[in-house]
Chain A
Amino acid sequence: MPAARAATEDTAMTELDDATRHALCDLLLAIADDKLMLGHRNSDWTGLGPILEEDIAFSSIAQDEIAHAQALYEFVGRLAGTTADALAFGRSPDAYRCAAVVERSDDNDWAIALARQLFCDHLDQLRLQRLSNSSYAPIAALARRLAAEEQVHVEHADGWVRRLGSGTDESRQRMQAALDTLAPLSASLLEAVADQATLEANGVYPPLDPPMTATWCAKLTTLVDDAGLHLACPESAPNTPGGRRGVHTPEFPSILDEMCEVYRIEPDAAW
Chain B
Amino acid sequence: MSGSSNVGMHVDHDLHDDPEKLAEFESRVADGHLIEHDDWMPDAYRKGMLKMAEHHANSEIIGALPEGEWITRAPSLRRKLALTAKVQDEVGHGQMLYRVSQDLGKSRDDMLRDLITGKTKYHNVFNYPAPTWGDIAMIQWLIDGAAIMNQKTLADGAFGPYVRTMKRINMEEAFHFKSGEDMVLTLMSGTPRQKKMAQDAFDRWWYPSLMFFGPPDKPDAENLPPMKWRMKTVKNDELRQRFVDRFAPAALDLGFVINVVEKDADGLVVAKRPDEQLRQDETTGHYAFTEPDWEEFYRVIRGGGPCNRQRLALRRLSYEQGQWVRRAILQGQAGLPPAA
Contact = CB atoms under 8 A, between A and B. Distances in A.
A20 B263 CA distance: 59
Contacts of A22: none
Interface string B178-196: 0000000011001101100
Interface in B15-74: 61, 64-65, 68, 71-74
B80 A66 contact: yes
Interface string A164-190: 101110110010000000000000000
B329 interface: yes
Nearest to A71: B77
B191 A51 contact: no
A59 B87 contact: yes
B118 interface: no
A251 to B, nearest CB: 14
B138 to A, nearest CB: 14
Contact of A50 (B88, B322, B332): B322
B193 A51 contact: no
A108 B321 contact: yes
Contacts of B323: 50
B340 A60 contact: yes
Contacts, number: 168
Interface in B104-143: 133
Interface string B285-317: 000000000000000000000000000001001
A48 B81 contact: no
A59 B337 contact: no
Contact of B133 (A57, A162, A258, A262): A262
B94 A163 contact: no
A53 B323 CA distance: 14
A144 interface: no
Contact of B73 (A46, A70, A261): A261
Contacts of B270: none
Interface stretch (A233-241, A242-250, A263-271): A263-271
B72 A43 contact: yes
Q: Among B76, B317, B318, which residue has the most Cβ atoms of chain A within 10 A?
A: B76
Interface string A136-179: 00000000000000000000100110111011101100100000
A123 interface: no
B325 A56 contact: no
A41 to B, nearest CB: 8
B91 A259 contact: no
A43 B84 CA distance: 6
A46 B71 contact: yes
A168 B194 contact: no
A167 B322 contact: no
Interface string B226-255: 000000000000000000000000000000
B88 A266 contact: no
Contact of B340 (A46, A57, A84, A160): A57
A259 B72 contact: yes
B95 interface: yes
A56 B340 contact: yes
Interface in A43-71: 43-44, 46-57, 59-63, 66-67, 69-70
Contact of A56 (B81, B321, B328, B339): B339
A168 B61 contact: no
A66 B326 CA distance: 27
A89 B89 CA distance: 26
Q: Among A49, A88, A258, which residue has the most Cβ atoms of chain B within 10 A?
A: A49
Interface residues of B, number: 53
A168 B88 CA distance: 28
Kindly state the interface size class of chain A when it binds its partner: 35 or more
A56 B88 contact: yes
A40 interface: yes
A261 B329 CA distance: 38
A108 B92 CA distance: 21
A217 B4 CA distance: 51
B332 A171 contact: yes
A70 B77 contact: yes
A168 B334 CA distance: 12
A52 B186 CA distance: 33
A16 B90 CA distance: 46
A266 B337 contact: no
Nearest to B99: A52
Interface string A78-117: 0000001100110000000000000000001110000000
A30 B46 CA distance: 56
Contact of A163 (B84, B193, B322, B332): B332
B75 A89 contact: yes
A73 interface: yes
Contacts of A49: 91, 318, 322
A258 B72 contact: yes
Given A53-B339, A60-B340, A89 B76 contact: yes
A263 B326 contact: no
B333 interface: yes
B1 to A, nearest CB: 12
Cβ-closest 9 pairs across A and B: A167-B328, A50-B322, A47-B64, A171-B328, A167-B332, A50-B325, A271-B75, A262-B75, A47-B68
27 contacts: A44-B71, A46-B64, A47-B91, A52-B61, A54-B325, A56-B95, A59-B87, A59-B88, A63-B81, A63-B85, A67-B81, A70-B81, A85-B76, A88-B76, A108-B317, A163-B328, A167-B331, A168-B327, A170-B328, A262-B73, A262-B133, A266-B194, A269-B194, A270-B186, A271-B133, A271-B190, A271-B194
Given A46-B64, A166-B332, 9 more contacts: A46-B88, A47-B65, A50-B325, A51-B325, A52-B91, A59-B88, A66-B77, A167-B331, A170-B328
